[in-house]
A and B are shown apart, each in its own frame.
Chain A
Amino acid sequence: MATVDDLKFQEFDDAANLLAANPDATTISIDEPVEIPKNQHSRLQEPGREEDDELLGTDDSDKTELLAGQKKSAPFWTFEYYQTFFDVDTYQVLDRIKGSVFPVPGKNFVRLYIRSNPDLYGPFWICATLVFTIAVSGNLSNFFIHLGKPTYHYVPEFRKVSIAATAIYAYAWLIPLALWGFLMWRNSKVMNIVSYSFLEIVCVYGYSLFIYIPTAILWIIPQKVVRWVLVMFSLCLSGSVLVMTFWPAVRDDNRRIALATVGTIVLLHALLAVGCLAYFFDAPELDFPAPIIPAHNGTVNKITMPVSPSVQ
């Protein structure tokens, strides 16, 4: 704050002494434009990026959305357009994977990690890894289960890779498409504050599948209890990421529709996990896989003749 005294001519003191006396003073060096405000802003960004975003709220997200709008201006038939979907560094991908495995209650995955920079690298390669992990783990698990039996002859079961690929890629791309279409339709009827682009939904779904990779490896253990505990655990983790992402988008809607939407998301996620477990991994004690998979209209479908009593 300038007083009358300050306006008098003062001896130019050493810059260091001046700064020591008043550390927060704005300093300007002749050869560079004023950069201090930006430096302070970026220094805040690095350690506490997430808190900063929450505090700044709409301000920062407006800026990033503006930048995102500028970013994707290349026409869709050029290579540069697709490069904008791969504009991520290693640490960003690792951060997003970490965010999908350790969901923080109350923090939205999309706002926190994706921040208007959805990428296709994560969803594509996580799905590819998951396909091969399930196929290889299933094959290994069947080998260990049937190892002692004299009539067993090992087969690589290569066909299952293409089946796994179809199922997982269809889940990771068609369900987001359906969900996006549904949210757009509801958005036109009800004024929602939060709306996601198609790529952000694909991103969330892709990264939420990551937890199934170590789960599939652990499914090699031929114990039914262990496998079902793993299913529940991974379903809780990735399901909570999905729920926390999509609940803000539907909570302003009709209560029943909101609950039905979130319920369907979780149910389809569970269906994928249980379906993979049933199809690729033989049951440990029996020769026929015997789980009961409930369809989401409430009826129970049996897929094989179960040895254990059926659940009604």
Chain B
Amino acid sequence: MRDLKAVGKKFVHVMYPKKSSALLRDWDLWGPLVLCVSLALMLQGGSADSKDDGGPQFAEVFVIIWFGAVVITLNSKLLGGTISFFQSLCVLGYCVLPLTVAMLVCRLVLLAGSGTVSFVIRLIVVVAMFGWSTLASTAFLADSQPPNRKALVVYPIFLFYFVISWMILTFTPQ
């Protein structure tokens, strides 16, 4: 129960990002795991003419999120960051929450129809959530970097969330 409360508190922190060392200190990976699995599940069921042309499979989404988070963490540590390995993984994983919400909204919008209007709505939602994710994770992670390398650390985070947003936006149902 205490763990659930901690996870819930972190979700709230991500939605209203303000710098708080409490989030960074008590890292946990339950939240990222839940978010990653639900995002990967929601990205299933996409259309595919052949196996080669469809959207990402469950394992691919999983690997992209975890491998991407590990690479970004290694990158920030190699550039001289002071944050610990698991704290960084924790923050990057939790900041996938806005994009998971976007995926949920997209699937609901796609139930209503898949024309141009639905695409425009999905585009706006995904872009907004992508901006939110990037800003939330930057707010937590940027302070632990040396000041003249901040852009070098923020850019891979931007790329990471961009790739996830692209996967969400290009999801087309059967």
Contact = CB atoms under 8 A, between A and B. Distances in A.
A285 interface: no
A86 B47 CA distance: 42
B159 A156 contact: no
Contacts of B77: 79
B159 A132 contact: yes
A158 B53 CA distance: 6
Given A129-B159, A157-B53, A158-B60, A89 B48 contact: no
B152 A88 contact: yes
B148 A89 contact: yes
A154 B56 contact: no
A155 B149 contact: no
A121 B159 CA distance: 14
Interface residues of A, number: 24
Contacts of B163: 132
B55 A158 contact: yes
Q: Taking chain A's interface residues, is the majority helix, strand, or loop, or is none over half, making it mixed?
A: helix
Given A86-B79, A89-B149, A155 B172 contact: yes
Contacts of B55: 155-156, 158
A155 B53 contact: yes
A154 B148 contact: no
B118 interface: no
A47 to B, nearest CB: 19
Interface in B19-64: 46-49, 52-56, 60
Interface in B130-174: 148-152, 155-156, 159, 162-163, 166-167, 170-172
Interface of A: 79, 82-83, 85-86, 88-91, 93, 121, 125, 128-129, 132, 136, 139, 153-159
Given A86-B78, A155-B49, A156-B55, 15 more contacts: A86-B79, A86-B80, A89-B149, A90-B148, A90-B149, A91-B148, A121-B75, A121-B152, A136-B166, A153-B49, A155-B54, A156-B56, A158-B55, A158-B56, A158-B167
Interface of B: 46-49, 52-56, 60, 75, 77-80, 148-152, 155-156, 159, 162-163, 166-167, 170-172
